[in-house]
Each structure stands twice: as C-alpha cells, then as structure tokens.
Amino acid sequence: MRALYKPAAAPGFEWVDRPDPACGEHDVLIRVLRTGICGTDLHIWEWDAWAAGSVDAPLVPGHEFCGEVVEVGAGVRDVRVGDLVSGEGHVVCGTCRNCRAGRRHLCIRTSSVGVNRDGAFAELVVLPESNVWVHPGATATTADLDVAAVFDPFGNAVHTALSFPLVGEDVLITGAGPIGLMAAAVCRHVGARYVVVSDVSAPRLELARRMGADLAIDVTTGTIADAQRRLGMVEGFDVALEMSGSPSALPAILDNLNHGGRVAVLGLPSAPVTIDWAKVVSHMITIKGIYGREMFETWYAMSALLRSGLDVSPVITDRFPARDWKTAFEVARGGAHGKVVLDWTET
C-alpha cells in the first residue's frame, strides 16, 4: 500500500510503499478514502519537542479518516464488509478503573492511532472493532466523505460545546481553528442566544461568521468587552469554550464571564497561564478540562446533530490528492485555512 511514513525520530515524512496491515480476529481492515490533517500531524511532521516525547517512530501517522471496510476478523460481530466507517483514535485497555466505569476516554493506558500505533495516512488501516464507528445508512457513494473524515475533531468540538447547557446562553469561543469553528456551529444549532468567536486570523474569523457566529472579533484590534457592548450584554458570557491554547485566552475569558459562568478548556496552552483564582472562587466559576471524545456518547451526538440539520462542511476549505501531501501540509501549517483533507483514492 502507499503510505506517508515516519521512518525515524526526525523531521519529515516519506511517501513509500508499506506492507498491507494484517487483520486480527477482532479487527477491521479499512480502505482509507479521506483523511484530515490535524495539528498533531503537523507536530509529528516537524518533529518538535512534543513529538519527540510522545510518538513511537517509526510508524504511519494520521488519525482522522473515513473509509470502507474490506475485511473483518472472525471475532467481529457488528461491522460488515462494505460499511462506511470512521475511527475513534484512542485504543483503550478495557480493564483500568475508568474503562470499567464507562469512562474510556480517560483510560490510563490509551494507545493513540497515528501516534503510538500505525495510523490512517495510508491506503489501508486496521482498527479493533471496538474503535470503529459505522455511519448509519451511509455508503462511499452517498455520504459526504470529507465530513466523515473529520469526525474525530468534530467530536472534540461536540464534546467541548455540549459540556454545559447552551439553550438561551451567551457563548464565547476563543480560537477559530477548525475545532472552534465547528463548535460555533454546534452552539448555534442547539440554541445558544449569542455566539462570539475571537481569533487573530481574518480568514478564519470570516469562516466563523459562515459557521454561525453572531460576532467574530479580531483581538488584535478589538476586545471581548467590545463584543459585549455591541450585543447589548450587561452581565458577561454564560459559557466559554477555550480552543486556542493562547496563554492570554483564559484570563480574558474570566474578565468577561458572568458570575457562575462555566468554561470548557480544550486548547493546550503554549506557555504557563496565570489566572485570578480569587475571582474563580468568589464568582463561583467552573473550569472543566476536555480531552478527546466521550466513547461513544459523543459519536452518537455527532450523528444526531448531522441528521437534525447541522452543517459543518464549510469548515473544510482545501482538498488535495494524497500524493500532493507536501502541499497540503504547507497549507495546513499556514494557519489561515479551515480543515485540509487528503483524498486517498488519488495516490
């Protein structure tokens, strides 16, 4: 099979032929149709400090994908050849306390697809049946394959956005990357009153408006407090979603949050963050960390949202044949676009 390959602990990928993966008794073999390029993939490509400490090279990277099942192991019960599927990228142990309690996204022995085991930047990928999500009623010829390929980050957006009740609430989203953009669409779809998105990229702020934001604020030229005044808000935001990882984002959120406000934090800070803990206590602020997707409650929510009319397709701004992966990675690294997708039917 053709694949992007990380042959050693060093920058770069190679476009090579790799052996087809074997399908075990409880595994599913999937022919990859589309993959999304994630920030994690950029870290692995560049081989930064995070990648050096986290990635088990050599391996095939990539964890956002959709594809068609071509083989199932003898012990597979519910997945069938021909199904259109995506994959939950966290392969869990099943026996730690969190796994046994139904909190599998908090497994202490998680092995991540494309990070600790071979991933989806290839024509074929193998996953345990327990990590395969079948798109109900969809086929490779009827589904929006680009959207199916980004169910993993879409799940991050849904997990974060639905952490707190949103109906009638005023929501602030800091960071207009692809996940923040999809979260804006989710908040609008489920009934938030106002949705405000902040960022520093004009193209991404324009995407935020297309995804349903009432206001998209460039924080280099305006403030979140300005957004409140423009919308006629008097008590601050009820819910905030921190998606940027900027060290200044969380303090700015606290300065613009109502008493009793709630914050879901998905963005990984790029530097230490200093916040006013006295305000957190005296204003009874809830701050909740978010990791991945709830397995598989978030996946059911994603499918239900799409079936009820949610459209996240505008977040996908660029599509390339897999063989043009170098160009695709440069576009993704530029930070001015939405989601970048590779088409693996064109290798």
Print pLDDT tens along the chain (347 aa). 999 999 999 999 999 999 999 999 999 999 999 999 999 999 999 999 999 999 999 999 999 999 999 999 999 999 999 999 999 999 999 999 999 999 999 999 999 999 999 999 999 999 999 999 999 888 887 789 999 999 999 999 999 999 999 999 999 999 999 999 999 999 999 999 999 999 999 999 999 999 999 999 999 999 999 999 999 999 999 999 999 999 999 999 999 999 999 999 999 988 899 999 999 999 999 999 999 999 999 999 999 999 999 999 999 999 999 999 999 999 999 988 999 999 999 88
Widest pairwise Cα distance in the chain: 62
Q: pTM, whole model, 2 decimals?
A: 0.95
Query: Strand 339-343 and strand 316-321: pairing?
Result: parallel
- Residue 187 is assigned to a ligand binding site: no
- On whether 268 is known to bind a ligand per the annotation, the reply is yes
Residue 206 assigned as binding residue: no
Q: Is 38 annotated as a binding residue?
A: yes
Fold for the domain defined by 2-150+312-343: Quinone Oxidoreductase; Chain A, domain 1 (3.90.180)
Q: What is the DSSP letter of 313?
A: G
Q: What pLDDT does 143 receive? A: 84
pLDDT at 270: 83
Token pair listed for 75 = 């012990």
Cβ pair 45, 7 in contact under 8 A:
no
- Is 257 annotated as contributing to ligand binding? no
pLDDT at 141: 78
**Ramachandran class of 305: left when φ > 0, alpha when ψ lies in -120 to 50, beta otherwise:** alpha
Region(s) of the chain under CATH 3.40.50.720: 155-289
Tell me if 23 is assigned to a ligand binding site.
no
Task: State yes or no: 204 annotated in a binding site.
Answer: yes
- Enumerate residues 6+ apart whose C-beta is below 8 A from 152: 36, 38, 63, 64, 86, 87, 88, 89, 293
**Could you tell me the CA-to-CA distances from 233 to 161, 199, 258 in Å, in that order?**
21, 20, 10
Is 290 annotated in a binding site? The answer is yes
266 marked as binding residue: yes
Closest to 115 measured CA to CA, from 47, 179, 28, 68 = 47
Q: In the chain, where does the domain assigned CATH 3.90.180.10 lie?
A: 2-150+312-343
Does the annotation list 194 as a binding residue? no
- Angle of helix 178-190 relative to helix 202-210, nearest 10 degrees? 30
Architecture of domain 155-289: 3-Layer(aba) Sandwich (3.40)
Please report the DSSP string for 32-56 in residue order. Answer: EEEEE--HHHHHHHHT-HHHHHH--
Q: Does the annotation count 43 as an active-site position? A: yes
Q: Which structure tokens are listed for 347? A: 């290798």
Q: Please, what is the end-to-end C-alpha distance for the chain in angstroms?
A: 10
Q: Is 63 annotated as a binding residue?
A: yes
Choosing from 35, 40, 174, 298, which is the catalytic residue?
40
Considering 43, 105, 135, 337, which one is annotated as catalytic? 43
> Any known ligand binding at 199?
yes
Is 40 a residue of the active site?
Answer: yes
Q: Encoding tokens for residue 12?
A: 């770069």
In sequence order, what DSSP letters do the residues of 207-264 get, joined into one string? HHHHTT-SEEEETTT--HHHHHHHHT-SS-EEEEEE-S--TTHHHHHHHTEEEEEEEE
